[in-house]
Amino acid sequence: LEEITEEDSETWVPGLDVSALLPSDLSRYFRYEGSLTTPPCAQGVIWTVFNQTVRLSAKQVGLGHGGDTGDVGERGVGMRSRCIKR
């Protein structure tokens, strides 16, 4: 992600298949304006929430690294007691 430095730029991440993280039906979703969930939480984003859920392992969620954190960049970010549903 450090290679994406400007708006509308893109990069290839070998071994990352984003389609595996998306539901099979992409036509059913809703969107809302919000902010990023990492401090300072000030950046405006448009969130997209799909009707179908996708199963993720603890490792995929980022909990497989020895505690209640997920990797974001070079630092760990606490889950702040967020519930991860199975």
Where in the chain are the domains?
Answer: 27-51
pLDDT in tens, 16-63: 788 888 898 999 999 999 988 878 887 888 999 999 988 877 777 765
Q: Which neighbouring-strand residues pair with 58? A: none
Joined tokens for residue 85:
């549903």
User: What are the helix (H) ranges across the chain?
Assistant: 58-61
The pLDDT value recorded for residue 77 is 52
Residue that has been written with the tokens 């980022």 in this structure: 62
Q: Which neighbouring-strand residues pair with 69? A: 78
3-state DSSP call for residue 70?
strand
What residue type is 11 in one-letter code? T
Radius of gyration of the chain, Cα coordinates, nearest whole angstrom: 15
